[in-house]
Amino acid sequence: MIRDIQRFTLADLSLPVKTLFTGYLLVIGLGLLFAGAQIMLTHGMADGKLGLSVDDIVYSYHGNHDGPDASKLESKLHGSMKENAPPEVRIALLKWAGEGAPVGEWEGNIKPLVEQHCAPCHANMPGLANLSDKAVMDTMTTRDEGASFSTLTRVSHIHLFGIAFIFFFVGWIFTYATGFSPLVKAILIFTPFGFLIVDVASWWLTKMNPNFAWLVIIGGFGYSMASTVMIFTSLYQMWIAPLHTIKPANPVAEK
C-alpha cells in the first residue's frame, strides 16, 4: 500500500528558504490586491459606478448595445474615463458622438480637444487607442461591441501563461503545509487553476452571450479565495505555528 509521506514541512525549512518563500508570497499577495484595485478602476467603472457589477462585465466584454451611451466613446466617457477630462470637454465629445460623429466637426472642433486632453496618454501608452487618429475614433463612435476577438485572444494567452506560473509556485509552497489530508490539499492546489480556466472561458462566453457574465465574477473570486487560503496558511505555518511548539530551554526554571 502506497502512503503519502511528507518528509518536510514549512516549519522544518531552513531560514533562507523560509525567507525566499515569504518574500515571494508577500509580493504575490500585494500583487493580487493591486490587481483587484485595477479591476475596480477599469472594468468596475464601465457602468459609471464604482464597484464591480454584472453590467460592468457585460459592457466590458459583450458591449453596450442600448441606451444613450451605446458607442464605446460614450460608454468610456460615462464610465472609466469620466474623471479624466474637464466637464466641458467631456460634454463636447459626448454631444459630438451622440449626433453621429459628423465628419465636418472633427478637424475644427473635436480633434484639437482630443489632442490636448486625450492624446498625452492615448498616443504614448501601450494598449491605449490613439484617439488622434480619425480611423481609430471612427471605431470608438460606432456601437459598442465590447472587447474584440483579437483583444480577447491576446489577453487570454497572457493571463493563462502568466497567472498559471503564480499559482504553480503558490501551490508548490503549499505542498509543504500540514494539517490537511492529501485530498483536501490537492483540491486547494487545483482550485485556482480550475477557476482561472472558468474565468478566461467566461470572457469569450460573455462576448457571445451576456448571460454568462456571472461566471467572470465567480471565476475571479474563486481563484482569489483559494490563493489567499494557501498564502496565509503557508505564512502562518512558517513563522507563527513554530512559536507554539518551542519547548522551554530549562523546564526546571519554568516551574
Domain boundaries, the chain: 10-42+148-244, 66-140
Maximum separation of any 2 CA atoms in the chain, in Å: 94
The per-residue pLDDT for range 171-213, each reduced to its tens digit, is 999 999 999 999 999 999 999 999 999 999 999 999 999 999 9
Q: Which of 49-53, 101-105, 207-211, 232-236 has the lowest mean pLDDT?
A: 49-53
pLDDT band per the 50, 70, 90 thresholds, residue 70: low
Sign of the four-CA dihedral 163, 164, 169, 172: positive
The reported pLDDT for the residue numbered 176 is 95
Q: Which of 64-73, 85-94, 167-176 has the lowest mean pLDDT?
A: 64-73
Is 6 in contact with 226 (CB distance < 8 Å)?
no
Residue 38: phi and psi, rounded to 5, are -65, -40
Query: With 70 as the cut, is the pLDDT of residue 167 above it?
Result: yes
The reported pLDDT for the residue numbered 144 is 65
pLDDT band per the 50, 70, 90 thresholds, residue 48: low
Query: Among residues 52, 196, 72, 84, which one has the least CA distance to residue 138?
Result: 72
The reported pLDDT for the residue numbered 140 is 77
Query: Among residues 144, 173, 177, which one has the least CA distance to residue 67?
Result: 144
Residue 6: phi and psi, rounded to 5, are -100, 110
The reported pLDDT for the residue numbered 42 is 80
Query: With 90 as the cut, is the pLDDT of residue 96 above it?
Result: no
The reported pLDDT for the residue numbered 7 is 72
Percent above pLDDT 70 for the chain? 86
The reported pLDDT for the residue numbered 255 is 45
Query: With 70 as the cut, is the pLDDT of residue 47 above it?
Result: no
Is 167 in contact with 190 (CB distance < 8 Å)?
no
DSSP state of 62: I
